[in-house]
Amino acid sequence: MTQSRKHIGGVLAVAFGALTATPARAASLQAVSNWNGGVSGLPSDVSMYIYVPDKVATNPPILTLIHYCGGTASAVFGQASGGGIVKAADQYGFIMVVPSSGRCWDVVSSKTRTRDGGGDTHAIVQMVRYAVTKYQANADRVYATGDSSGGMTTQLLLGLYPDIFKAGSSMAGMPAGCGTTTATAGGYDGACAGGTVTHTPQEWGDIVRKMDPSYTGHRARVQLFHGDADTTIRYANFNESIKEWSNVLGLSTTPTSTQSGLTLGTHQATRQSWKNACGYTVLDGFTSAGGDHGPSDALFLSQYVIPFLGLDKTGAVDPEIAQCGAGGAGGAGGASGVGGASTNGGTTANAGGRTSTGGTATTLGGAPATGGRSSIGGASATAGNSAGGATSASGGRTATGGSVANGGTSAIGGSPVGGSNSALGGSSSSTVTVAGGRLGNGGSNPSPIGGSVVTANGGGYVNGGAGVGGSAPAVSGTSAGSANGPDNSGCSCSVRTKSSPSALIGLALGSMLILQRRRKQ
């Protein structure tokens, strides 16, 4: 009798313990509200999403993931998942900031080409600032990547905010500042897309330096991917980008090394790499032989992107800076365009340049670097302390300081690990499918996610829009079909169901009845 009661109690305890136990929830892409921090004038159609892995690193780095023309946060997140970027975030614990607009990102207007000018670039940087504070992220380890329109935006962000971004990986993009016009509408310049805009390395470098003429600190390293058969954003942009960034980084246009015989997706590829004076690779270019726009079969490949950005490394500072120091690049012309800026203890700059003691960035709340800038912040500093007897230049920026709030790591939705992802905003427990793949120029391309094929009905890009007569893939809902326009992407997603409470209660009651019958016998 006593033994039977004990057994019944044990069964009940197990059953009700299962009912009351909190189910494990895997990290997922989440919408963020109130990210603008009270900054007015930012684009009203831009929203913020974030991915915080279940095991986030202490003081984690940030990877900003930027979608293609007409894309959404959920679509580019699906691409990044297919390339292994999301799995890398789970492994190394970095946070992903994912802006979303459903249209082409503006890279040509005066607003977006001005630091904190109220354009798309300002909105994205504001998301980064929010993440640094909210999630105790590392302001000295912020990176960016994107494809197509996102690749263009990545390069523009590196030029506009060199004090914030330490490196970026651009796929099928174009040089920062490329454009024959500065239209107020969103989008990009058609002449640049067609590959007809060309400059000398010096001219390209000056375009970047004029975006922030007083800056003399560390310059972001740049990784480029492009298909030489891309008819949407012509391959000529790859070579123009190399000219631009080799000048900004003080490199020769001739690569340090060239590697052939690689494979990117289904295509053969060549890799060109440039190392700086201390032997660190700071410019990295991949050409997909016969590759289309994207290239669509080689997007966000973690085996190349993660090591270049240094996201597989731990440490309080960027690995390049840890190895080489934070001295400013000595690119031809320097910040002033004449003679270059002096570095590491120099007391004067040549012919109008600025003094600098390395241009190191201060961290949040830290003292202003001599002649440098903070990674995150706005207020300018007056002449700071000298280093080695050299006076600091005014105009350096300090961080806004202050304490950071504890970041939440819980996520809503299904797990991106193991091949299943919850659809953003989806509420059904059944499989939610989003049309996969990227659309090429009026044709069809294999999806990089899940193997499904989507046929394009629109072909090439349209300046300032999501496509001809089409609409962007929905962020929420059950599915997105074939979209008319330049790009379309997504992921095959599923949401796992939970065990029914009534089933557990039934199990417990059934066990009680069985034990009572045995006791009567």
Taking the CB of residue 17, how many other CB atoms lie within 10 A of it? 10
Q: How far apart are CA 279 and CA 320, in angstroms?
A: 10
148, 149, 169, 489: the active-site residue:
148
Q: Angle 250-157-78 (CA atoms, 0-180°, nearest 5)?
A: 120
Taking the CB of residue 322, how many other CB atoms lie within 10 A of it? 14
Cis peptide before 53 (omega within 30 of 0): no
Would you say the C-alpha torsion 392, 393, 395, 397 has a positive or negative sign? negative
409 neighbors 27 (Cβ within 8 angstroms): yes
Q: How far apart are CA 415 and CA 313, in angstroms?
A: 24
Q: How far apart are CA 341 and CA 246, in angstroms?
A: 17
In 3D, which of 66, 69, 88 has the Cα closest to residue 77?
A: 66
Angle, helices 149-160 vs 120-134, to 10°: value is 70
Q: In a 10 Å sphere around its CB, with 0-12 CB exposed, 13-18 middle and 19+ buried, how is residue 324 labelled?
A: middle
Q: How far apart are CA 3 and CA 509, in angstroms?
A: 17
144 neighbors 63 (Cβ within 8 angstroms): yes
Distant-in-sequence, close-in-space partners of 3: CB < 8 Å, separation ≥ 6: none
C-alpha distances in Å from residue 503, one per residue of 430, 498, 511: 20, 11, 12
Instruction: Give catalytic status of residue 148 as yes or no.
Output: yes
DSSP 116: T
DSSP 499: P
Query: 3-state secondary structure string, 267-306?
Result: EEEEEEEEECCCCCEEEEEEEECCCCCCCCCCCCCHHHHH
User: Could you give the residue numbers annotated as active site?
Assistant: 148
